A and B are shown apart, each in its own frame.
Chain A
Amino acid sequence: MHTQARRASRDIRRKGLREETVLGYLLLLPALLLFGLFSYYPILYALRISLLDWNGIAKFPNFVGLDNYARAIQDPLFRRALRQTLYYTLGVVPGTMVVGLLLALLLNTRLKARALYRTVYYLPNVAPTVAASIVWKLILDGNWGLLNYVLSRLHLPTPNWLYEPGWAMVAIIIMSIWANAGYQMVIFLAGLQGIPDIYYEAAKIDGANRWQQIRFVTLPLLSHTTFFVLITSIIGSFQVFGSIYILTNGGPAQSTTVMVFLIYQRAFKYFQMGYGSALAYILFGIILVLTLFQFWVGRRSVYYEV
């Protein structure tokens, strides 16, 4: 009778386990199907496409092996797009981080109307890229734009922003900083608020003034937030597209053609899907290497709470 009871309870447990397994897989099924079809399969499919010379429509595309990759390396426009993407990144990432951090530092005090300022600073990020770009296109107009009006009043140069090869990218960088500083400010604010007051008090006791406090307490203890912002910011800036499409369409004279724009152009305007896939994989590789590099550097310079 004793073993019968044990056997019965074991069978009940087994049945419960089986039911749980079935339910578990069942609930996971939609996600698995979707991820399988729209994430995993495409990754492999893209790799295969990158080895073809294909316009996406032809029934029997040519297999060309690594030719697309070789072509990319020799393609002057690809090299240019890469350079210009780097240039954009070098402009946007430090710029946005400095402004974002500055705003966070300013708002991390017991200021009145602090929430109001925070809302206003974040508002540019709420606007979708295309909507914001359309407004900026008007503001950046060379002859009648608001920006040049303000600059002319300050006796500063007023270039024809979106039509001069040197200045177009600068204009896009400025707009990106405007759009993203608020977002980074929010993240930095959260990081700042995570720094316990004890550290500041200890520093004050040791005679530190505001600047020294920031340098020796705030910045080190903010380092993992900064690290996170840096990584996501770089990854994001490598993927810029919407603002380029609206403001300059890759011009003038292809001076704002960045990687994603090049991929879009090659794949969807010139129907070179094979080449486009190869470009996309190269971009992926670059981002991956950059991110790993940052993690490697980060391990040595990110402080963790003692």
Chain B
Amino acid sequence: MRRSWVSAISNGLIYVLLTGIAIMMAAPFVWMLTTSLKSYDQVFIWPPKWIPQPIVWENYLRFWEAAPFARYYLNTAILAMGVVFGRLVVCSLAAYSLARLQYPGRNFLFALLLSTMMLPDQVTLIPLFLITKRLGWLNTYQGLIVPNLVSAYNLFFLRQFFRTIPKDLDDAARIDGAGRLRILISIVLPLSIPALTVVALFSFASGWGSFLWPLIVTTRSEMRTIEVGMAFFQDAHKGIEYPLLMAANTVALIPMTLVFLLCQRQFITGITLTGLKG
């Protein structure tokens, strides 16, 4: 009897602790939401208020004019989807080649591609910028997207996954007369949808949230991505337009949050398998 009493209390305490931590984790987001619905003079008051009075819904309409946010969204969407499709195509083809085909030099090339995993991005940052500039790709979509397509992690991940698909399926298809390419398209890829989803999700997250690269590759306002645009916006309008800033921030977070909430399981699986964040 006493045992269950004690364990009930300790269970209760654990719930309190967990909920407390959950509140701390969620609080900044809630604060962002409530601030976005305040009028300017309600932002800097003491004590701070959780519920705006009055609720200014117009902020969500007004912020679009404060800076070219619609354009920023478009750019970010193009960047993110470009990275997703680009990586899927490049990494799938290469991973299939490395996993399923035999040819001289295969293992050496695999090791070569893999070795780039070791490199921190800072070393390649300056030369990549100069190369992009020389290609005439500054302030272009291809300049934003293409240098992001090299991802040794995703390549490795897909290759390992392809190797787990039983070769018997390949052989059966060969007997039926299918060529290697056909095997890739009709057998390997459909069976790899979980892995491809993970690659797509992480590529999306990487593209949507990328900051340093778009920062240095775009010099014109109309090519900025959401992250860069927000960075400039919050610098230019210190303290004056906080509600608009928060409204813009909230809307900027929606795609990422939606994608995560809808595909949670794949995200978690992907993280535990690869340790990647994107």
The complex places the Cα of A27 from the Cα of B179 at a distance, in Å, of: 14
A290 to nearest B CB, angstroms?
Answer: 11
A131-165 residues with Cβ-Cβ distance < 8 A to B are 131-132, 134-139, 141, 143-146, 149
The complex places the Cα of A135 from the Cα of B34 at a distance, in Å, of: 11
Interface residues contributed by chain A, number (CB under 8 Å) = 89
Interface SS of A by simple majority: helix
With an 8 A cutoff between CB atoms, is B121 at the interface? Answer: yes
Interfacial chain B residues near A34, Cβ < 8 Å: 90, 146, 149-150
The complex places the Cα of A283 from the Cα of B126 at a distance, in Å, of: 14
Interfacial chain A residues near B54, Cβ < 8 Å: none
- Contact for B216 among A239, A268, A283, CB less than 8 A: A268
Is B131 a contact of A42 with CB atoms below 8 Å?
A: yes
- Contact for B101 among A23, A103, A128, A246, CB less than 8 A: A23
Is A135 a contact of B28 with CB atoms below 8 Å?
A: yes
With an 8 A cutoff between CB atoms, is A31 at the interface? Answer: yes
Question: Chain B, 106-119, contact with A by CB distance < 8 Å: what is the 0/1 string?
Answer: 10010011001011
B250 to nearest A CB, angstroms?
Answer: 9
The complex places the Cα of A199 from the Cα of B28 at a distance, in Å, of: 40
Is A27 a contact of B101 with CB atoms below 8 Å?
A: yes
Interfacial chain A residues near B252, Cβ < 8 Å: 128, 131
With an 8 A cutoff between CB atoms, is B245 at the interface? Answer: yes
Question: Chain A, 12-47, contact with B by CB distance < 8 Å: what is the 0/1 string?
Answer: 000001011101111110111011011111110110
The complex places the Cα of A250 from the Cα of B155 at a distance, in Å, of: 35
Is B122 a contact of A32 with CB atoms below 8 Å?
A: no
Is B31 a contact of A283 with CB atoms below 8 Å?
A: no
Interfacial chain B residues near A241, Cβ < 8 Å: 211-212
With an 8 A cutoff between CB atoms, is B125 at the interface? Answer: yes
Is A106 a contact of B18 with CB atoms below 8 Å?
A: yes
The complex places the Cα of A232 from the Cα of B271 at a distance, in Å, of: 13
- Contact for B277 among A35, A118, A125, A143, CB less than 8 A: A125
